[in-house]
Amino acid sequence: MNNRTYLFGVLPRDCLLGSVLLILSYYSFSQDQKKVVPDGTMGEVIPVLDSTNAKEKKDRWRLFNGRYTTFKFGGGFLYEMAAYSQDDNSRKQMDSLGTPLGTKFKVRDFRVIASGQLKTKRVITWKVGLMYDGVSEKWLVRETGVMVNVPELWGNIFIGRTKEGFSLNKVMNGYAGWTMERQIAIEVIPILADGIKWLGFLPKQRIFWNVGVFADWLSKDQGFSTFGSQFIARFGWLPIYEKSAKKLLHVGFNYRYGRPEDGMIQVRSRPEANPAPYFIDTKKFPSDHSNSFGPEIYFTSGPLQIGSEYYFHAFNSPQNGNPVFKGGEVGISYIFTGESRSYTTVTSIYGFVPVKKSLFNGGLGALEGVIRISNLDLDDGAIHGGKLWRLTPMVNWYMSQSIRLELAYGYGVLDRFQMKGVTQFFQSRIQIAIL
């Protein structure tokens, strides 16, 4: 038996949780002086209703103060284009996949969201999200549940459908990301799960954590539900956190234990272009559990942001040599108009770029340049799903806080079917988000 899959098994899972609890018992705690009420787990907040507040007056059309709860309505819309240029090997690879590439224009997603804060002594918020998925052409339930502030446990507990918590880039709102698509190495992790999640932050020690347990009682037939149950733990430290100077260093580690649905798993990924087919794919293979783990590190200094995540996904499958798939990313972002991407310690993730002066108010908006290199290797043991890496320079133009135009070029190399093929990507997206 190959021990590498069991190195991070059930026993270390319990040790991780125990370690967190020991750390908590060692320190003295204090709450943030300024209370931030989270609107779900992806970085947004519930605004404090105040009739004298200028922003509330501007947003009064979507903010309401009911008898038992406040209400906030929002939504988002993504429309994108993708075109390709291929060498001969890339065309042969797509022929082998049976999915030739062609220019596509499509609706990526359209979503509507409602949320609010209950008028109770304890801070309790709720959220409901529905999304039209352009890939499946179906309406799906997105993050939906209740968030309860639990100062006794130094944080908040979310119950419902949400992001598991593995990977900063995966957890944060997709509309707030600096790239058009998340990196390919975290496609192994489902986008949503149903369960309970505990999020916490110690302001004095600048320690954060996110621990969750999930099952598929309600989501078994959903396309994202590839695991029957899973446990995740994400924890880390902010060695530098100077909010007024817009400077921070975020260091974290992620661990995940999952049991694939019906003892079978299929790992695959698109090449960071949603209209494209899956470039790498293991096909289904037997596995009764998996362990995913890896670090994340981000540094921000004003308009500059540098970040990296790298992950290992180990599947227990003796028939296939217990394969371990690995990959990650390194990215640099710079906002030429001087803004600095927001960061919230409630969930320890990045949020939206605050636009100083929008295009519609006589300003330029915010202009950001990004470059990223990413990869995922799905060849190990008896599994030959292929290897893919991609270099992506791109530009984001935030015309206002709600409207964003993205232009991206990608240079990708696929190593599969005993050949290496080069594909160039030409992508654009218009984004409207009122969240």
Rounded to the nearest integer, the mean pLDDT of the chain is 89
Tens digits of per-residue pLDDT, 223-274?
778 899 999 999 999 999 999 999 999 999 999 999 999 999 999 999 999 9
Task: Kindly state whether residue 294 falls inside one of the protein's structural domains.
Answer: yes
Region 194-200: what's the mean pLDDT? 96
Contact predicate 105/84, CB 8 Å: no
β pairing state of 268-269 and 280-281: antiparallel
Contact predicate 131/109, CB 8 Å: yes
**Torsions phi, psi for 88 (to 5 deg):** -60, -40
Q: How confident is the model at residue 54 (pLDDT cuts 50, 70, 90)?
A: low
Task: Kindly state whether residue 56 falls inside one of the protein's structural domains.
Answer: yes
Run of H or E residues at 262: none
Looking at residue 203, the DSSP 8-state letter turns out to be T
pLDDT reading at 6 higher than 50: no
Rounded to whole angstroms, how far apart are CA atoms 92 and 256? Answer: 36
Give the count of domains, the chain.
1
Q: According to the model, what pLDDT value does residue 59 have?
A: 67
Task: Kindly state whether residue 24 falls inside one of the protein's structural domains.
Answer: yes
Task: Kindly state whether residue 145 falls inside one of the protein's structural domains.
Answer: yes
Region 74-90: what's the mean pLDDT? 96
Rounded to whole angstroms, how far apart are CA atoms 427 and 392? Answer: 10
Tens digits of per-residue pLDDT, 340-392?
999 999 999 999 999 999 999 999 999 999 999 999 999 999 999 999 999 99
3-state helix, strand, coil in the chain (%, to 5): 15, 50, 35
Task: Kindly state whether residue 1 falls inside one of the protein's structural domains.
Answer: no
Q: According to the model, what pLDDT value does residue 138 have?
A: 84
Among 16-20, 190-194, 297-301, name the one with the lowest average pLDDT.
16-20
Task: Kindly state whether residue 219 falls inside one of the protein's structural domains.
Answer: yes
Q: How confident is the model at residue 194 (pLDDT cuts 50, 70, 90)?
A: very high
- DSSP symbols for 288-306: S-EEEEEEEEEEEETTEEE
Say which residue the tokens 């087919």 belong to. Answer: 277
Structural domain span for residue 255: 6-434
Q: How confident is the model at residue 435 (pLDDT cuts 50, 70, 90)?
A: confident
CATH of the domain at 382: 2.40.160.10
- The answer for residues whose C-beta is within 8 angstroms of residue 354's C-beta and 6 or more apart is 339, 340, 342, 401
Task: Kindly state whether residue 320 falls inside one of the protein's structural domains.
Answer: yes
Region 47-76: what's the mean pLDDT? 77
Q: According to the model, what pLDDT value does residue 193 have?
A: 92
- DSSP symbols for 194-261: EEEEEEEEETTTTEEEEEEEEE-TTTTTSTT--EEEEEEEEEEEEEEEETTTTEEEEEEEEEEEEEEG
% of residues, the chain, pLDDT over 70: 89
